[in-house]
Amino acid sequence: MTIEQPSEEDLSQASPENINKMRKFVNNFAEKSGSFLHPQSEITEFLVIGLAKNIDEVGRPLCPCMFFEDKEEEIEKKFWICPCEEMQRWKYCH
């Protein structure tokens, strides 16, 4: 199964500045921590867009793969802020 690269519409969901910031962050974190990104680069790119969108919305890179009823409450818990606890533990990101 293949997934298409994010479209311009997908990319427009977050600011270009935060998309670039999160792309660098994700790649640097993976390299320094020994974590693994998804083998399909398109999945990683959608993750980057989601992280950037959450920074635009609430000021923190909350995991975009999770649903949060109250994002502000989740920020206080810090568990799902990238790199989330699960990623740090298992060294794998979606």
- Per the listing, tokens 């910031």 go with 21
Burial class from Cβ neighbours inside 10 Å (0-12, 13-18, 19+) for residue 65 reads middle
- Residue 93 among the catalytic residues: no
For residue 4, the cross-strand partners are: none
Assign 62 to helix, strand or coil: strand
Q: What span, in angstroms and rounded, lies between the C-alpha atoms of 65 and 68?
A: 10
Q: pLDDT > 90: what percent of the chain?
A: 73
Q: Where are the domains of the chain?
A: 13-90
Q: What span, in angstroms and rounded, lies between the C-alpha atoms of 81 and 33?
A: 16
45-92: per-residue pLDDT in tens? 999 999 999 999 999 999 998 999 999 999 999 999 999 888 888 887
CATH topology of domain 13-90: Ferredoxin Thioredoxin Reductase (3.90.460)
Q: Which of 65, 82, 84, 93 is catalytic?
A: 65
7-48: per-residue pLDDT in tens? 999 999 999 999 999 999 999 999 999 988 888 999 999 999
